[in-house]
Amino acid sequence: DEWFMTPQTVNAYYNPLMNEIVFPAAILQYPFFDASRDAAANYGGIGAVIGHEIGHGFDDQGSRFDGDGSLRDWWTEADREAFEQRTKTLIEQYDALTPRGLDEKHHVNGALTIGENIGDLGGLGIAIKAYEISLGDESAPVIDGYTGIQRLLLSWGQIWQQKGRDAETIRLLTVDPHSPNEFRCNQIVRNVDAFYDAFEVTEADELWLDPAERVTIW
């Protein structure tokens, strides 16, 4: 019957012992959510955050708990093996990333951040699928020259905007289970086919990732 964050906290969390996702009141505002704006932008903001927290129920740690919050191995061997192979590839992707402006020795720890990276990847995928389902048989309107999926992805990018000092970025690389925001945005979309289709991304573009190297966990 307790929350582990205050209502004033702009954040969200998944509690595996209760099998619950919690969104404090403070996150239900711009840029994550605005009831008066285009639905696509909300799906790319709070929708992806909701998907992220759902994804924690099936990440490297949350997947060890069943629907009742009990620590139990409820997956088949084949499922666990496939999951570990896919997460291994994602770990390798993130191990190769260095924040802009830093020496290459200051790279992301793919193993430390794997749970949050799984959440980010699954969260954006869930948001896109949910938005497409919400449209039904209707076509998304084009607004200011942008399609619905483009607006969703632009909103996704917007929620990760950040300014930071190099010294703090270096410190966080060693202790924070979250990847730097630039990679929470860009490395995720590199693995999402809808991004390539929406913006006609080609091999000539910096964010291109060969289809064989893209990871889908769920």
Q: Cα 79–208–58 angle (5° rounding)?
A: 25
One of 38, 53, 59, 116 is an active-site residue; which one?
53
- Structure token pair of residue 210: 């060969």
Sign of CA dihedral 16, 47, 85, 104: negative
Measured CA to CA, the distance from residue 12 to residue 21 in angstroms comes to: 7
Q: Which of 38, 59, 116, 120 is catalytic?
A: 120
Which residues in 5-42 are b (16+ Cβ under 10 Å) and which e?
eeeeeeebebbbeeeebebbeebeeebbbeeeebbbbb
Which helix (H) or strand (E) element contains residue 93?
A: helix 77-95
Phi and psi dihedrals of 216, rounded to 5? Answer: -125, 120
Main-chain dihedrals φ then ψ at residue 215, nearest 5 degrees: -110, 130
Q: In whole angstroms, give the CA distance from residue 1 to residue 4.
A: 10
Does the annotation mark 168 as catalytic? no
Residue 53 annotated to the active site: yes
Q: Which residues have a catalytic role annotated?
A: 53, 120
